[in-house]
Amino acid sequence: MNAFEGVPSLKTSRRGFLGLLGFAVLTPVLASCTTAAGSGSAAAGSGAIGIPKGVLPNYVPVEYVAPDIPGLDGSTPGFLEWPKLVKSVDKVPGVGGSYTAMTPTYGNVVPGLSDSKYLQQVNDEIGAKFDFRFTDNNAYPDKLQAIFASAKDVPDFVTIAEHNIPARFDQALPGLFQDMGEYLSGDKVEKYPNLANIPTNAWKSCVFEGKLYGLPYPSDRMSGSSFYRKDLFDEMGITEMPKNADEFFDLTVEITDEKAGRWAGNDLSETAKLIYAVPPKWKRESGKLVHKYESDEYRGYLEFTAKLFAAGVIHPDAVAGNSGENKARFESGKVLLTYDGYSGWIGSHVRTVPTTPTYNQQPLPWFVHDGSTPRFFVSSPAKIMTFVKKQDDPARMDEILDLLNYIAAPFGTTEQALLQNGFEGVHWEADPDTGAPVKTELGLKEVASTYQWLVRPPVTQNAPQYPDVVTDYCNFMADSMQYGVEPEFYGMQILEPVRLASLSQPFNDLESDIVRGRKSLDDLDAAIATWKNGGGDELREFYAGYLDV
């Protein structure tokens, strides 16, 4: 039986996509599903949801350079020294093709092709012309909507983060983008060793409508943590870390000293979510889906965070909602606790150590509010994907695949080093002590994530100038894997019906108001009732169609 029997046809022209933006459909659409519940198939009848057999690329790991700290159960491996580089691709991948690519930018905007020696020289090196269309991340969703609504001038490569996937994107895919499974599913990927080196979980996030459409940007198994200033804790004689919510609260009161201009933390809402193990979206209780808003964990997190705010342990600027200075307040010691992504750990160290040599940022050991066994929800395996515009020329598609294999070269290869750093003597000079690249002024101006957005090799960590930080980073992550829990619908790209997709929006302001004492948990109860009656229960039924039971 056809796995999509009973599902409306998704074939559409580019011109027709404009009409699709106004077409409502409640048929569940899942990145990693073969059938919708109730479709009549045996799998749907049993409630089993999975990816069609043979869709995912085979995983064939390759190790060009062995890490100093191997990954454990999915943790990030680390390199303490700059390695002797190995060539992973034995030919120039391009044959003269020209491609456009739409990618986001974070922070400083790098120059475009006409003004960038980096892009020009890399294009020469790889034998193909890439013209990147950079868009600030904040404006990226609007840019995506504009391009897809008109269906004109769609770039050859389009990078999209999970949270920026446009409405009804699933209906645009067959008409606009290439089914990459035709070239990469199963053992087909083994023709491209660097693509085959990408873990299976990352590819799962790229499956839509039972087909492999995306190219993954793999993520760390853990996205963020609560950090503390160990150097300042040591000065204060604080050596015992909290093991439950009460101990954490007492700690925040102890380290806050307004007269000294020191508060416990920035807005500690994300920390409280970790302490109460709030599920990312849904959890299952007795076989029934419970949304995080309805959960005891969510309620506990709000109540506890409100207690922290009321106690005066949050920096006044953070209370006022100024999150832009979070790092500066933490690095200067105005706050001693903050939540941050793991990528920010080494960045803060690099910025702060030159002026504060004793600076030591460490993640708090895992604990939960009641002191029971710690747990946290692991991160999405690939939060960002890139899609390739449909190609009519087989030779052009062959070139694209060779280029992607080059770009996916992992750490320790000449290809990855080039894409990451640019050209020696132009964009970087070797550090005299470690041999690692140190960017020149031009490198800092021109070199940023560009080609790497199109497909990313497995995540690694390296900073030869700061091997102790890499060691702390990788060891903490490896030790944390014992506490990691995969959330419900892990790795699935479920595209919600458009009219139900914005149900959570009112809770964003409500959370801020409750933790700051402007509203109460009674307001939460009222909001949950409105959510349920306004589509929350319907959304629950929608997701229930994808339960593995």
**What is the spatial distance between Cα 198 and Cα 236, in angstroms, rounded to a whole number?**
45
Written in H, E and C, the secondary structure of 99-123 is EEEEEEECCCCCCCHHHCHHHHHHH
Instruction: Write down the residue that tokens 């943790």 correspond to.
Output: 75
The tokens describing 3, both together, are 């796995």
Pairing of strands 214-218, 382-388: antiparallel
- DSSP-assigned states of every residue in 406-468: HHT--TTBHHHHHHHH--BTTTEEE-TTT--EEE-HHHHHH-SSSGGGT--PPP-EE-TT-HH
Supply the mean pLDDT for the chain: 89
Q: What is the largest CA-CA distance in the chain?
A: 72
- DSSP-assigned states of every residue in 161-174: EGGGPPTTHHHHHH
Written in H, E and C, the secondary structure of 36-101 is CCCCCCHHHHHCCCCCCCCCCECCCCCCCCCCCECCCCCCCCEECCCCCCECCCCCCCCCCCEEEE
**What is the spatial distance between Cα 459 and Cα 219, in angstroms, rounded to a whole number?**
7
Element (H, E) at 265: strand 263-265
The tokens describing 172, both together, are 């645009």
Contact 277, 377 (CB under 8 A): yes
**What is the spatial distance between Cα 297 and Cα 128, in angstroms, rounded to a whole number?**
52
Rg (CA), the chain: 24
Name residues of the chain where pLDDT drops below 70: 1-50, 548-549
278-318 pLDDT, tens digit each: 999 999 999 899 999 999 999 999 999 999 999 999 999 99
Nearest to residue 84, comparing CAs of 459, 434, 405, 452?
Answer: 434
Residue 393, burial from CB neighbour count under 10 angstroms (0-12, 13-18, 19+): exposed
Contact 64, 45 (CB under 8 A): no
Residue 534 CA: distances (Å) to CA of 213, 270, 299, 496: 33, 27, 20, 15
125 in helix, strand or coil?
Answer: helix
pLDDT recorded at residue 548: 63
Half-sphere exposure of 30 (CA within 13 A, CB side): 26
pLDDT recorded at residue 69: 97
The set of residues, in sequence order, having a beta carbon less than 8 Å from that of 296 and lying 6+ positions away, is none
236 in helix, strand or coil?
Answer: coil
Contact 365, 228 (CB under 8 A): no
Contact 439, 430 (CB under 8 A): no
What phi, psi does 522 have (nearest 5°)? -65, -35
Contact 280, 492 (CB under 8 A): no
Instruction: Write down the residue that tokens 């198994």 correspond to.
Output: 221
pLDDT recorded at residue 233: 98
Sheet hosting strand 263-265, strand order edge to edge: 263-265, 335-341, 224-229, 361-363
**What is the spatial distance between Cα 156 and Cα 100, in angstroms, rounded to a whole number?**
5
**What is the spatial distance between Cα 128 and Cα 100, in angstroms, rounded to a whole number?**
11
444-463 pLDDT, tens digit each: 999 998 999 999 999 999 99
Contact 95, 399 (CB under 8 A): yes
536: DSSP letter: I
Strand partners, 521: none
49-60 pLDDT, tens digit each: 468 899 999 999
Count the Cβ atoms, other than its own, within 10 Å of residue 261. 10
The tokens describing 230, both together, are 């160990």
Half-sphere exposure of 278 (CA within 13 A, CB side): 21
Q: What's the count of helices (H) and strands (E) in the chain, helices before strands?
A: 22, 21
Measured over the CA atoms of residue 177, residue 183, residue 186 and residue 190, the dihedral's sign is negative
**What is the spatial distance between Cα 240 and Cα 263, in angstroms, rounded to a whole number?**
19
All domains of the chain in start order, with CATH: 84-220+380-482 (3.40.190.10), 224-377 (3.40.190.10)
